[in-house]
Amino acid sequence: MDDARETAKGTTGVPVSELLGPELDDLELTVLSGESHLDNVISHPRVQKPGLAFAGYYPYIKAGRVQIVGESELAYLRTLPDEERRERCRSVAALPIPVIVVTKGLVPIPEMLEECRARQVPVLASRAMSSVVIKRISYFLEDHLVPSTRIHGTLLDVYGLGVVLIGSSGVGKSEAALDLITRGHSLVADDRVSIKRFPNGELIGSSEEPLKHHMELRGLGIINVKDLFGLAAVRDRKPIDLVIEMEPWQEGKAYDRLGLDETVYEVLETPCPYIRLPVALGRNVANMVEIAARNHVLKLQGTHSAREFARKLEEQLERNRKGKSR
């Protein structure tokens, strides 16, 4: 088995500054204080609303989480006496939190800004509703904090399945992928497939810029699949369902003839169904990939053609044995 995998990595944290990047442009986040501490690290994908902490219950706050402050938290703080309000803001700012985000375009109380500034906690603001900010930041952090790796290969959407083609350089992965695209299937990533494992165990593959929607074809160079074949010929991301390794046909080498062997290819400690596909001159690889995808769909639906054939063959042999014994 050719190992096309790069070393897996788990992102240990996301700098606060990345919340201000283009992926969260719709939140229109601005910095109210703490510009010099935007390198604070967010280490957990879940966010929190620190209402209980402002009420004096500090164990509720978990380290490394973004704190979302909305109308209810600010309204409560304004009901407190001056000294108590400052003390609550000081105590919350002293906790291991990377950043506070104030929502709905609200103006935070001065004590909050002062205590956060003194304890190197940036305060950001957004005009969006708290629910929107929570959803968008949570999705962003989940996408950036999950374990990830890269595979040298090509990822396609074939009959709704995410199929990764791997194999040694020059074996014909991109050419087979191009043939599949002309048949109506879609390209997700070519040459380098970025893969992330989400908490539900799903492996999601995508392409990184500037390779997105592009393929390299020896003799032709770089082509833009989206421009050549249209929007339907590309996908931004796709769950990975099947790994097919293309390898040069070797005379005398034993290959699976029945399809009874169930093998897996591990990606980020997650097993993926795996097929070893020998490639020979004149063999239509795109056809074989399509059949492999269709056959995998049948297996997911509970129909295993090879096992059914083996069962019928065993029954026939058993009938023949009984006939001879009479």
Nearest to 268 by CA among 208, 199, 207: 199
pLDDT in tens, 55-72: 999 998 999 999 999 999
Give catalytic residues, as residue numbers: 152, 173, 191, 257
pLDDT in tens, 141-160: 988 888 889 999 999 999 99
Give me the residues paired with residue 204 across strands.
196, 239
Nearest to 132 by CA among 109, 101, 156: 101
The span from the CA of 76 to the CA of 49, in Å, is 13
For the whole prediction, is pTM greater than 0.75? no
| pLDDT in the model for residue 311 | 74
For CATH 3.40.1390.20, list the domain ranges present in the chain: 10-144
Lookup: tokens for 120: 């190197």
Average pLDDT value over all residues in the chain: 89
| pLDDT in the model for residue 142 | 87
| pLDDT in the model for residue 66 | 96
For CATH 3.40.50.300, list the domain ranges present in the chain: 148-308
Instruction: Give the DSSP per-residue string, 82-138.
Output: HHHHHHHHHHHHTSS---EEE-TTPPPPHHHHHHHHHTT--EEE-SS-HHHHHHHHH
The span from the CA of 187 to the CA of 189, in Å, is 6
The domain defined by 148-308 folds into Rossmann fold (3.40.50)
| pLDDT in the model for residue 317 | 73
Beta carbons within 10 angstroms of residue 194's beta carbon? 19
Q: Which CATH superfamily is domain 10-144 in?
A: HprK N-terminal domain-like (3.40.1390.20)
